[in-house]
Amino acid sequence: MNNSRLQILFALFIALLIGMNLLGGKIVSLFGVSVSVGIFMAPLTFLITDIIEEVYGKNIVKHFIIGGVISLVVIFLFTGLFVYLEPHTRYGFNEQYTTIFGSSLRMIIASIVAFLLAQIHDVIAFEWWKKKTKGKALWLRNNLSTIISQLIDTFVFMMIAFYHITPKFTFAFIISLAIPYYLFKILFAIIDTPFVYMGVKWLKNEKESVEIAEGQK
């Protein structure tokens, strides 16, 4: 199958996006700081798009972004429908179901907006830095584009998802929550730098094989 590795990355990308929204409501303690479990998934989405853009360029990444937005919209619509539907009398967990997935609706809207803005910036910034570095210093381009993209993703998401959800969630309070969360995401982005190189090499090998095979036809 041509470009099978690209399809694997696309499937993983969509799975991470859906997972962040459906599973991200749980809060855990990471080195004493309260964070969403989604923090373990969000940096991987930027890792994937940077790998794709390095090998295939921004046009392919745009397809990933469009696919991501479509998947989130579909999940949002079905989540809203399923929360709204009256349960069967033998189903005894509707209150818990509504509590968990009903709260996901606002988070999905926040995620769609934040995801779109952050990924558009990441694509533009990655390409800009690639031109500036003349295609060198992948580690630098990956991290510089991701640092700002994660900033956009984190603060836009948290403002839309949590602003005035209760009186406690003021602008200042959300900022105080977002800063350590953002710093953890940056730390994870730096740590995953070797995986960018591994992913680029892995994807390039298939691309070169496909190009050779097509050239022999």
pLDDT score for 1: 46
Domain 4-211 part of CATH 3.40.50: no
pTM over 0.85: yes
DSSP secondary structure code for residue 214 in this structure: H
How would DSSP label each residue in 41-107?
THHHHHHHHHHHHHHH-HHHHHHHHHHHHHHHHHHHHHHHHHHHSPPPTT---HHHHHHHHHHHHHH
pLDDT, tens digit, 9 for 90 and up, residues 10-62 = 999 999 999 988 888 788 888 888 888 888 898 899 999 999 999 999 999 99
| pLDDT tier, 216 (very low <50, low <70, confident <90, very high otherwise) | low
Nearest C-alpha neighbor of 9 from the set 193, 172, 199: 199
Per-chain mean pLDDT for the chain: 89
pLDDT, tens digit, 9 for 90 and up, residues 155-200 = 999 899 888 888 888 999 999 888 988 999 899 888 999 999 999 9
